[in-house]
Amino acid sequence: MRLTILGGGGFRVPLVYRALLRDREEGRITEVVLHDLDAARLGAIARVLAEQAAGVPDAPTVTTTTDLDEALRGTDFVFSAIRVGGLEGRAADERVALAEGVLGQETVGAGGIAYGLRTVPVAVDIARRVRTLAPDAWVINFTNPAGLVTEAMSRHIGDRVIGICDSPVGLGRRVAGVLGGDPDEAFIDYVGLNHLGWLRGLRFGGVDQLPRLFAEPDLLESFEEGKLFGAEWLRSLGAVPNEYLHYYYFNRETVRGYQEAEQTRGAFLRDQQARFYEKMAHPEAPAWRTWDATRAEREATYMAESREAAGAGERAAEDMESGGYEKVALAIMRAIARDERATLILNVRNRTTLSVLDADAVIEVPCSVDANGAHPMAVDPLPGHATGLVCSVKAVEREVLAAADSGSRATAVKAFALHPLVDSVNVARRLVDGYKGAHPGLAYLR
Ligand code: G6P
Ligand code: MN
Protein backbone atom coordinates (compact mmCIF):
# COMPACT_ATOMS: atom_id res chain seq x y z
CA MET A 1 0.00 0.00 0.00
CA ARG A 2 1.53 3.31 -1.09
CA LEU A 3 1.02 6.73 0.46
CA THR A 4 2.09 9.92 -1.29
CA ILE A 5 2.58 13.00 0.85
CA LEU A 6 2.37 16.33 -0.99
CA GLY A 7 4.23 18.94 1.00
CA GLY A 8 6.53 16.06 1.93
CA GLY A 9 9.27 18.44 3.05
CA GLY A 10 6.85 19.97 5.54
CA PHE A 11 7.46 20.07 9.23
CA ARG A 12 4.58 17.84 10.35
CA VAL A 13 5.50 14.86 8.15
CA PRO A 14 7.42 13.06 10.95
CA LEU A 15 4.19 12.98 12.98
CA VAL A 16 2.50 11.09 10.18
CA TYR A 17 5.44 8.74 9.78
CA ARG A 18 5.46 8.04 13.52
CA ALA A 19 1.82 6.96 13.28
CA LEU A 20 2.64 4.73 10.29
CA LEU A 21 5.51 3.10 12.18
CA ARG A 22 3.14 2.08 14.95
CA ASP A 23 0.76 0.36 12.54
CA ARG A 24 1.68 -3.33 12.46
CA GLU A 25 -1.55 -4.62 10.93
CA GLU A 26 -2.32 -6.29 7.63
CA GLY A 27 -2.92 -3.83 4.78
CA ARG A 28 -0.75 -1.12 6.33
CA ILE A 29 1.24 1.44 4.36
CA THR A 30 4.52 -0.08 3.18
CA GLU A 31 5.77 2.69 0.88
CA VAL A 32 5.87 6.43 1.44
CA VAL A 33 6.59 8.89 -1.36
CA LEU A 34 7.39 12.43 -0.28
CA HIS A 35 6.80 15.16 -2.84
CA ASP A 36 7.85 18.77 -2.42
CA LEU A 37 8.92 21.62 -4.66
CA ASP A 38 11.96 22.20 -2.44
CA ALA A 39 14.59 19.46 -2.58
CA ALA A 40 16.50 20.73 0.48
CA ARG A 41 13.39 20.56 2.68
CA LEU A 42 12.68 17.07 1.35
CA GLY A 43 16.21 16.00 2.25
CA ALA A 44 15.91 17.41 5.78
CA ILE A 45 12.63 15.65 6.51
CA ALA A 46 13.82 12.39 4.93
CA ARG A 47 16.70 12.39 7.43
CA VAL A 48 14.29 12.78 10.35
CA LEU A 49 12.24 9.85 9.03
CA ALA A 50 15.37 7.73 8.59
CA GLU A 51 16.23 8.23 12.26
CA GLN A 52 12.67 7.40 13.27
CA ALA A 53 12.79 4.17 11.24
CA ALA A 54 16.13 3.00 12.61
CA GLY A 55 15.64 -0.34 14.34
CA VAL A 56 11.97 -0.69 13.35
CA PRO A 57 11.55 -3.91 11.37
CA ASP A 58 9.59 -3.49 8.11
CA ALA A 59 9.44 0.28 8.45
CA PRO A 60 7.67 1.79 5.42
CA THR A 61 10.23 2.69 2.73
CA VAL A 62 10.65 6.38 1.99
CA THR A 63 11.46 7.91 -1.39
CA THR A 64 11.51 11.58 -2.35
CA THR A 65 10.74 13.41 -5.58
CA THR A 66 10.09 16.92 -6.86
CA ASP A 67 8.04 15.58 -9.80
CA LEU A 68 4.31 15.69 -9.02
CA ASP A 69 3.24 13.22 -11.69
CA GLU A 70 5.83 10.69 -10.58
CA ALA A 71 4.67 11.07 -6.98
CA LEU A 72 1.02 10.49 -7.85
CA ARG A 73 1.12 7.80 -10.52
CA GLY A 74 -0.59 4.63 -9.25
CA THR A 75 -0.61 5.62 -5.58
CA ASP A 76 -3.28 4.39 -3.14
CA PHE A 77 -3.53 7.34 -0.75
CA VAL A 78 -2.51 10.97 -1.06
CA PHE A 79 -2.01 13.30 1.87
CA SER A 80 -2.12 16.85 0.66
CA ALA A 81 -0.37 19.13 3.16
CA ILE A 82 0.98 21.97 1.08
CA ARG A 83 1.51 25.61 2.00
CA VAL A 84 1.28 27.83 -1.06
CA GLY A 85 3.51 30.86 -0.52
CA GLY A 86 5.20 29.25 2.48
CA LEU A 87 5.29 30.74 5.96
CA GLU A 88 6.45 34.03 4.47
CA GLY A 89 3.05 34.07 2.76
CA ARG A 90 1.31 33.34 6.08
CA ALA A 91 3.13 36.25 7.71
CA ALA A 92 2.08 38.53 4.83
CA ASP A 93 -1.54 37.39 5.23
CA GLU A 94 -1.40 38.57 8.82
CA ARG A 95 0.47 41.81 8.14
CA VAL A 96 -1.84 43.09 5.40
CA ALA A 97 -4.97 42.35 7.43
CA LEU A 98 -3.67 43.85 10.67
CA ALA A 99 -2.73 47.04 8.84
CA GLU A 100 -6.47 47.35 8.14
CA GLY A 101 -7.38 46.46 11.72
CA VAL A 102 -8.90 43.10 10.82
CA LEU A 103 -7.90 39.54 11.65
CA GLY A 104 -5.21 37.94 9.50
CA GLN A 105 -5.25 34.44 10.97
CA GLU A 106 -4.34 31.73 8.45
CA THR A 107 -7.81 30.19 8.20
CA VAL A 108 -10.28 32.66 9.69
CA GLY A 109 -11.31 36.05 8.32
CA ALA A 110 -9.31 38.08 5.80
CA GLY A 111 -6.13 36.02 6.22
CA GLY A 112 -8.02 32.80 5.48
CA ILE A 113 -9.55 34.32 2.34
CA ALA A 114 -6.15 35.46 1.06
CA TYR A 115 -4.68 32.05 1.78
CA GLY A 116 -7.65 30.37 0.08
CA LEU A 117 -7.36 32.57 -3.01
CA ARG A 118 -3.79 31.50 -3.64
CA THR A 119 -4.23 27.86 -2.58
CA VAL A 120 -7.41 26.88 -4.44
CA PRO A 121 -5.90 27.05 -7.97
CA VAL A 122 -2.99 24.83 -6.87
CA ALA A 123 -5.27 22.36 -5.07
CA VAL A 124 -7.54 22.14 -8.12
CA ASP A 125 -4.54 21.36 -10.29
CA ILE A 126 -3.53 18.58 -7.90
CA ALA A 127 -7.07 17.15 -7.93
CA ARG A 128 -6.99 17.06 -11.73
CA ARG A 129 -3.62 15.28 -11.73
CA VAL A 130 -4.94 12.74 -9.21
CA ARG A 131 -7.98 12.08 -11.39
CA THR A 132 -5.71 11.28 -14.33
CA LEU A 133 -2.80 9.50 -12.64
CA ALA A 134 -4.36 7.75 -9.65
CA PRO A 135 -8.12 7.65 -10.27
CA ASP A 136 -8.73 5.12 -7.49
CA ALA A 137 -6.69 6.95 -4.87
CA TRP A 138 -8.19 8.55 -1.77
CA VAL A 139 -7.02 12.07 -1.03
CA ILE A 140 -6.84 13.20 2.57
CA ASN A 141 -6.61 16.95 2.62
CA PHE A 142 -4.75 18.66 5.47
CA THR A 143 -4.11 21.81 3.45
CA ASN A 144 -5.68 24.89 5.00
CA PRO A 145 -8.16 26.47 4.82
CA ALA A 146 -9.12 22.79 4.96
CA GLY A 147 -12.89 22.99 4.42
CA LEU A 148 -12.64 25.37 1.48
CA VAL A 149 -9.74 23.51 -0.15
CA THR A 150 -11.56 20.18 0.28
CA GLU A 151 -14.64 21.64 -1.42
CA ALA A 152 -12.50 22.95 -4.30
CA MET A 153 -10.98 19.49 -4.81
CA SER A 154 -14.33 17.70 -4.44
CA ARG A 155 -15.55 19.49 -7.55
CA HIS A 156 -13.02 17.39 -9.48
CA ILE A 157 -12.71 14.11 -7.57
CA GLY A 158 -16.01 14.00 -5.66
CA ASP A 159 -16.07 12.12 -2.38
CA ARG A 160 -12.57 10.72 -2.95
CA VAL A 161 -11.24 13.77 -1.12
CA ILE A 162 -11.77 13.90 2.64
CA GLY A 163 -10.68 16.93 4.67
CA ILE A 164 -9.27 16.66 8.16
CA CYS A 165 -8.56 18.90 11.11
CA ASP A 166 -7.37 18.06 14.57
CA SER A 167 -9.28 20.77 16.42
CA PRO A 168 -12.68 19.03 16.78
CA VAL A 169 -10.86 15.84 17.77
CA GLY A 170 -8.89 17.73 20.41
CA LEU A 171 -12.07 19.39 21.68
CA GLY A 172 -13.88 16.04 21.94
CA ARG A 173 -10.90 14.48 23.70
CA ARG A 174 -10.70 17.31 26.23
CA VAL A 175 -14.42 17.32 27.02
CA ALA A 176 -14.59 13.52 27.27
CA GLY A 177 -11.57 13.57 29.57
CA VAL A 178 -13.09 16.16 31.90
CA LEU A 179 -16.27 14.10 32.10
CA GLY A 180 -14.35 10.92 32.88
CA GLY A 181 -15.10 9.19 29.57
CA ASP A 182 -12.96 7.44 26.99
CA PRO A 183 -12.74 9.78 23.97
CA ASP A 184 -12.49 6.80 21.62
CA GLU A 185 -15.76 5.38 22.90
CA ALA A 186 -17.77 8.59 23.20
CA PHE A 187 -20.02 9.88 20.42
CA ILE A 188 -19.26 13.53 19.85
CA ASP A 189 -22.18 15.53 18.54
CA TYR A 190 -20.34 18.25 16.63
CA VAL A 191 -21.18 20.11 13.43
CA GLY A 192 -20.34 23.23 11.42
CA LEU A 193 -17.68 24.20 8.93
CA ASN A 194 -13.96 23.68 9.44
CA HIS A 195 -12.79 25.94 12.29
CA LEU A 196 -16.43 27.03 12.74
CA GLY A 197 -18.21 24.27 14.60
CA TRP A 198 -19.92 23.57 17.92
CA LEU A 199 -19.96 20.58 20.24
CA ARG A 200 -23.55 20.17 21.42
CA GLY A 201 -23.44 16.79 23.10
CA LEU A 202 -21.12 14.00 24.14
CA ARG A 203 -22.60 10.60 24.74
CA PHE A 204 -21.21 7.62 26.52
CA GLY A 205 -22.84 4.96 28.66
CA GLY A 206 -26.01 5.64 26.65
CA VAL A 207 -26.39 9.15 28.09
CA ASP A 208 -25.56 12.68 26.94
CA GLN A 209 -22.99 13.73 29.54
CA LEU A 210 -22.72 17.38 28.49
CA PRO A 211 -25.39 18.71 30.90
CA ARG A 212 -23.09 17.54 33.70
CA LEU A 213 -20.35 19.78 32.34
CA PHE A 214 -22.63 22.83 32.22
CA ALA A 215 -23.78 22.19 35.77
CA GLU A 216 -20.27 22.53 37.19
CA PRO A 217 -18.37 25.79 36.57
CA ASP A 218 -15.11 24.27 37.84
CA LEU A 219 -15.27 21.49 35.28
CA LEU A 220 -16.34 23.93 32.61
CA GLU A 221 -13.26 26.11 33.00
CA SER A 222 -10.80 23.28 33.46
CA PHE A 223 -9.89 22.77 29.77
CA GLU A 224 -8.67 24.89 26.85
CA GLU A 225 -12.01 25.98 25.33
CA GLY A 226 -13.53 26.57 28.77
CA LYS A 227 -10.66 28.88 29.66
CA LEU A 228 -10.84 30.70 26.32
CA PHE A 229 -14.59 31.35 26.35
CA GLY A 230 -15.39 31.35 30.07
CA ALA A 231 -18.13 29.36 31.81
CA GLU A 232 -20.72 32.10 31.55
CA TRP A 233 -20.52 32.41 27.77
CA LEU A 234 -20.49 28.63 27.27
CA ARG A 235 -23.64 28.40 29.39
CA SER A 236 -25.27 31.12 27.31
CA LEU A 237 -24.46 29.22 24.14
CA GLY A 238 -25.41 25.84 25.58
CA ALA A 239 -22.59 24.36 23.50
CA VAL A 240 -18.80 24.32 23.41
CA PRO A 241 -17.48 26.13 20.33
CA ASN A 242 -14.36 25.16 18.44
CA GLU A 243 -11.40 27.19 19.72
CA TYR A 244 -11.30 29.11 16.41
CA LEU A 245 -14.63 30.72 17.30
CA HIS A 246 -12.66 32.78 19.77
CA TYR A 247 -11.74 34.92 16.74
CA TYR A 248 -15.46 35.62 16.24
CA TYR A 249 -16.83 35.90 19.76
CA PHE A 250 -13.85 37.92 21.01
CA ASN A 251 -12.80 39.54 17.78
CA ARG A 252 -11.57 42.87 19.15
CA GLU A 253 -9.45 41.22 21.78
CA THR A 254 -7.88 38.74 19.39
CA VAL A 255 -7.12 41.42 16.79
CA ARG A 256 -5.56 43.56 19.49
CA GLY A 257 -3.64 40.55 20.81
CA TYR A 258 -2.20 39.95 17.35
CA GLN A 259 -1.37 43.65 16.94
CA GLU A 260 0.37 43.88 20.27
CA ALA A 261 2.29 40.62 19.96
CA GLU A 262 6.00 41.01 19.37
CA GLN A 263 5.56 38.84 16.29
CA THR A 264 2.49 37.36 14.65
CA ARG A 265 2.14 33.57 14.65
CA GLY A 266 3.12 33.29 10.98
CA ALA A 267 6.20 35.49 11.43
CA PHE A 268 7.26 33.51 14.49
CA LEU A 269 6.89 30.19 12.66
CA ARG A 270 8.61 31.56 9.54
CA ASP A 271 11.71 32.35 11.60
CA GLN A 272 11.51 29.27 13.79
CA GLN A 273 11.13 26.88 10.88
CA ALA A 274 13.85 28.63 8.89
CA ARG A 275 16.21 27.98 11.79
CA PHE A 276 15.25 24.30 11.76
CA TYR A 277 15.91 23.84 8.04
CA GLU A 278 19.17 25.83 8.35
CA LYS A 279 20.38 23.57 11.14
CA MET A 280 19.48 20.58 9.03
CA ALA A 281 21.70 21.87 6.25
CA HIS A 282 24.61 20.55 8.32
CA PRO A 283 24.91 16.86 7.56
CA GLU A 284 25.95 16.01 11.12
CA ALA A 285 22.93 17.71 12.78
CA PRO A 286 20.99 15.21 14.93
CA ALA A 287 17.87 15.13 12.79
CA TRP A 288 15.19 13.78 15.10
CA ARG A 289 16.38 15.70 18.15
CA THR A 290 16.50 18.99 16.24
CA TRP A 291 13.04 18.35 14.82
CA ASP A 292 11.47 17.38 18.15
CA ALA A 293 12.81 20.44 19.99
CA THR A 294 11.35 22.66 17.26
CA ARG A 295 8.03 20.79 17.48
CA ALA A 296 7.82 21.20 21.26
CA GLU A 297 8.37 24.96 21.01
CA ARG A 298 5.72 25.22 18.29
CA GLU A 299 3.14 23.29 20.31
CA ALA A 300 3.76 25.32 23.46
CA THR A 301 3.10 28.63 21.70
CA TYR A 302 -0.01 27.51 19.73
CA MET A 303 -2.79 30.16 19.88
CA ALA A 304 -0.73 32.07 22.44
CA GLU A 305 -2.28 35.46 21.54
CA SER A 306 -5.80 34.14 22.12
CA ARG A 307 -4.86 32.51 25.39
CA GLU A 308 -3.17 35.71 26.46
CA ALA A 309 -6.22 37.81 25.48
CA ALA A 310 -8.48 35.49 27.49
CA GLY A 311 -6.08 35.17 30.42
CA ALA A 312 -6.20 31.42 29.84
CA GLY A 313 -2.60 30.76 30.89
CA GLU A 314 -0.32 28.03 29.62
CA ARG A 315 -1.39 25.16 27.38
CA ALA A 316 -2.16 21.88 29.13
CA ALA A 317 0.62 19.30 28.84
CA GLU A 318 -1.63 16.69 27.25
CA ASP A 319 -2.67 19.18 24.54
CA MET A 320 0.94 19.61 23.51
CA GLU A 321 1.71 16.05 22.56
CA SER A 322 0.24 16.13 19.05
CA GLY A 323 -1.67 13.08 18.00
CA GLY A 324 -4.53 14.82 16.29
CA TYR A 325 -3.96 14.93 12.57
CA GLU A 326 -1.90 11.85 12.11
CA LYS A 327 -4.21 9.70 14.21
CA VAL A 328 -7.27 10.78 12.26
CA ALA A 329 -5.46 10.32 8.95
CA LEU A 330 -4.32 6.83 9.89
CA ALA A 331 -7.80 5.93 11.14
CA ILE A 332 -9.33 6.98 7.79
CA MET A 333 -6.80 4.92 5.85
CA ARG A 334 -7.42 1.87 8.02
CA ALA A 335 -11.18 2.14 7.77
CA ILE A 336 -10.99 2.43 3.98
CA ALA A 337 -8.27 -0.14 3.33
CA ARG A 338 -9.64 -2.80 5.69
CA ASP A 339 -13.31 -1.88 5.61
CA GLU A 340 -13.25 -1.44 9.38
CA ARG A 341 -16.01 0.95 10.30
CA ALA A 342 -14.88 4.01 12.26
CA THR A 343 -16.62 7.20 13.39
CA LEU A 344 -14.53 10.34 12.82
CA ILE A 345 -15.22 14.07 12.55
CA LEU A 346 -14.29 14.98 8.97
CA ASN A 347 -14.81 17.51 6.22
CA VAL A 348 -17.10 16.00 3.61
CA ARG A 349 -19.94 17.06 1.31
CA ASN A 350 -23.10 17.91 3.19
CA ARG A 351 -25.61 15.87 1.24
CA THR A 352 -28.73 16.37 3.41
CA THR A 353 -27.05 16.83 6.81
CA LEU A 354 -27.59 20.58 7.30
CA SER A 355 -30.78 21.51 5.51
CA VAL A 356 -29.73 25.16 5.16
CA LEU A 357 -26.80 24.21 2.89
CA ASP A 358 -26.80 22.53 -0.51
CA ALA A 359 -25.64 18.94 -1.00
CA ASP A 360 -22.16 19.84 -2.31
CA ALA A 361 -21.19 22.24 0.47
CA VAL A 362 -18.31 20.75 2.46
CA ILE A 363 -19.06 20.70 6.18
CA GLU A 364 -17.35 19.27 9.27
CA VAL A 365 -19.39 16.53 10.89
CA PRO A 366 -19.09 13.06 12.45
CA CYS A 367 -18.83 10.53 9.65
CA SER A 368 -19.04 6.81 9.42
CA VAL A 369 -16.01 5.65 7.41
CA ASP A 370 -15.67 2.29 5.62
CA ALA A 371 -14.28 0.92 2.34
CA ASN A 372 -16.70 3.16 0.44
CA GLY A 373 -15.44 6.34 2.06
CA ALA A 374 -16.82 8.80 4.61
CA HIS A 375 -20.56 9.22 5.09
CA PRO A 376 -21.89 12.11 7.17
CA MET A 377 -24.09 11.06 10.09
CA ALA A 378 -27.41 12.65 10.97
CA VAL A 379 -27.10 15.43 13.53
CA ASP A 380 -29.49 17.93 15.09
CA PRO A 381 -29.78 21.27 13.29
CA LEU A 382 -27.70 24.20 14.54
CA PRO A 383 -29.42 27.02 16.42
CA GLY A 384 -30.16 30.28 14.59
CA HIS A 385 -27.03 32.26 15.35
CA ALA A 386 -24.73 29.38 14.41
CA THR A 387 -26.71 28.71 11.25
CA GLY A 388 -26.30 32.39 10.37
CA LEU A 389 -22.52 32.26 10.76
CA VAL A 390 -22.20 28.99 8.87
CA CYS A 391 -24.27 30.32 5.97
CA SER A 392 -22.33 33.62 5.85
CA VAL A 393 -18.96 31.94 5.85
CA LYS A 394 -20.04 29.33 3.31
CA ALA A 395 -21.19 32.18 1.06
CA VAL A 396 -17.72 33.74 1.42
CA GLU A 397 -16.08 30.41 0.55
CA ARG A 398 -18.23 30.18 -2.56
CA GLU A 399 -17.05 33.65 -3.65
CA VAL A 400 -13.44 32.55 -3.11
CA LEU A 401 -14.03 29.48 -5.28
CA ALA A 402 -15.72 31.63 -7.93
CA ALA A 403 -12.87 34.16 -7.90
CA ALA A 404 -10.28 31.39 -8.21
CA ASP A 405 -12.23 30.00 -11.14
CA SER A 406 -12.87 33.22 -13.04
CA GLY A 407 -9.89 35.31 -11.94
CA SER A 408 -12.30 38.14 -11.16
CA ARG A 409 -10.96 40.80 -8.80
CA ALA A 410 -14.51 42.04 -8.15
CA THR A 411 -15.49 38.57 -6.95
CA ALA A 412 -12.47 38.49 -4.64
CA VAL A 413 -13.54 41.87 -3.22
CA LYS A 414 -17.01 40.40 -2.66
CA ALA A 415 -15.51 37.47 -0.75
CA PHE A 416 -13.68 39.78 1.67
CA ALA A 417 -16.58 42.25 1.96
CA LEU A 418 -19.14 39.56 2.84
CA HIS A 419 -17.05 38.08 5.62
CA PRO A 420 -18.54 38.77 9.08
CA LEU A 421 -15.09 39.82 10.34
CA VAL A 422 -14.47 42.43 7.60
CA ASP A 423 -16.37 45.57 8.44
CA SER A 424 -16.41 47.65 5.25
CA VAL A 425 -16.43 47.22 1.49
CA ASN A 426 -13.65 49.82 1.33
CA VAL A 427 -11.56 47.68 3.64
CA ALA A 428 -12.23 44.70 1.36
CA ARG A 429 -11.00 46.66 -1.67
CA ARG A 430 -7.82 47.71 0.08
CA LEU A 431 -7.26 44.15 1.30
CA VAL A 432 -7.37 42.87 -2.28
CA ASP A 433 -4.85 45.53 -3.34
CA GLY A 434 -2.63 44.80 -0.36
CA TYR A 435 -2.69 41.06 -0.89
CA LYS A 436 -2.07 41.38 -4.62
CA GLY A 437 0.97 43.49 -3.80
CA ALA A 438 2.24 40.93 -1.29
CA HIS A 439 1.58 37.71 -3.21
CA PRO A 440 2.75 37.03 -6.77
CA GLY A 441 0.37 34.04 -6.64
CA LEU A 442 -2.61 36.44 -6.74
CA ALA A 443 -1.60 38.10 -10.00
CA TYR A 444 -4.39 36.13 -11.67
CA LEU A 445 -7.03 38.39 -10.08
CA ARG A 446 -7.95 41.07 -12.59
C1 G6P B 1 -4.48 23.53 14.51
C2 G6P B 1 -5.43 23.63 13.37
C3 G6P B 1 -4.70 23.48 12.05
C4 G6P B 1 -3.60 24.49 11.97
C5 G6P B 1 -2.71 24.45 13.18
C6 G6P B 1 -1.87 25.69 13.15
O7 G6P B 1 -3.91 22.27 14.57
O8 G6P B 1 -6.45 22.71 13.43
O9 G6P B 1 -5.57 23.66 11.01
O10 G6P B 1 -2.81 24.23 10.83
O11 G6P B 1 -3.45 24.46 14.35
O12 G6P B 1 -0.94 25.62 14.13
P13 G6P B 1 0.35 26.52 14.00
O14 G6P B 1 1.30 25.86 14.92
O15 G6P B 1 0.78 26.44 12.55
O16 G6P B 1 -0.07 27.89 14.39
MN1 MN C 1 -7.43 22.73 11.41
Q: What is the pLDDT along the chain (446 residues), one digit of tens a residue?
A: 999 999 999 999 999 999 999 998 988 999 999 999 999 999 999 999 999 999 999 999 999 999 999 999 999 999 999 999 999 999 999 999 999 999 999 999 999 999 999 999 999 999 999 999 999 999 999 999 999 999 999 999 999 999 999 999 999 999 999 999 999 999 999 999 999 999 999 999 999 999 999 999 899 999 999 999 999 999 999 999 999 999 999 999 999 999 999 999 999 999 999 999 999 999 999 999 999 999 999 998 888 888 888 998 888 888 876 568 888 999 999 999 999 999 999 999 999 999 999 999 999 999 999 999 999 999 999 999 999 999 999 999 999 999 999 999 999 999 999 999 999 999 999 999 999 999 999 999 99
Peptide bond between residue 145 and the one before it cis (omega within 30 degrees of 0): yes
Do both 175 and 243 map to the same domain?
Answer: yes
Do both 188 and 228 map to the same domain?
Answer: yes
Do both 294 and 239 map to the same domain?
Answer: no
* Ligand having the closest approach to the CA of 346: 2
Q: Determine, yes or no, domain membership for 364.
A: no
Q: What's the farthest any 2 CA atoms get from each other in the chain?
A: 60
Q: Determine, yes or no, domain membership for 15.
A: no
Does ligand 1 come within 6 angstroms of the Cβ of 167?
yes
The pLDDT assigned to 2 comes to: 98
Does ligand 1 come within 6 angstroms of the Cβ of 298?
yes
Domain boundary among 278, 310, 342: 310
Report the distance separating Cα 146 and Cα 130, nearest Å.
Answer: 18
The pLDDT assigned to 317 comes to: 83
Do both 259 and 301 map to the same domain?
Answer: yes
CA distances from 234 to 199, 216, 219, 237, 244 (A): 11, 12, 12, 5, 14
The pLDDT assigned to 324 comes to: 80
Alpha carbon of 381 to ligand 2 centroid (Å): 22
Does ligand 1 come within 6 angstroms of the Cβ of 4?
no
Residue from 84, 119, 166 to probe ligand 1 pocket by mutation (most atoms less than 8 Å from CB):
166
Tell me if 137 sits within 8 A of 418, measured CB to CB: no
Do both 173 and 206 map to the same domain?
Answer: yes
Domain boundary among 233, 249, 265: 249
Q: Determine, yes or no, domain membership for 132.
A: no
> Which residues have CB under 8 Å from 135's CB, separation 6+?
none
The pLDDT assigned to 319 comes to: 81
Q: Determine, yes or no, domain membership for 256.
A: yes
Pairing of strands 342-349, 362-370: antiparallel
Q: Determine, yes or no, domain membership for 377.
A: no
Taking a 5 Å cut-off on Cβ, the residues next to ion ligand 2 are 165
Q: Say whether pTM exceeds 0.85.
A: yes
Containing domain of residue 416, as a range?
391-442
Do both 213 and 264 map to the same domain?
Answer: no
Do both 172 and 244 map to the same domain?
Answer: yes
Do both 222 and 293 map to the same domain?
Answer: no
The pLDDT assigned to 321 comes to: 66
Alpha carbon of 265 to ligand 2 centroid (Å): 15
> What is the total count of domains within the chain?
3
Do both 193 and 245 map to the same domain?
Answer: yes
Q: Determine, yes or no, domain membership for 139.
A: no
Q: Determine, yes or no, domain membership for 380.
A: no
Q: Find residue 162's DSSP bridge partners.
A: 140
* Ligand having the closest approach to the CA of 87: 1
The pLDDT assigned to 181 comes to: 96
Report the distance separating Cα 361 and Cα 371, nearest Å.
Answer: 22
Alpha carbon of 7 to ligand 1 centroid (Å): 15
Do both 174 and 209 map to the same domain?
Answer: yes
Do both 177 and 239 map to the same domain?
Answer: yes
Do both 268 and 305 map to the same domain?
Answer: yes
Does ligand 1 come within 6 angstroms of the Cβ of 310?
no
Residue from 16, 94, 107 to probe ligand 1 pocket by mutation (most atoms less than 8 Å from CB):
107
Domain boundary among 249, 274, 298: 249
Q: Determine, yes or no, domain membership for 37.
A: no
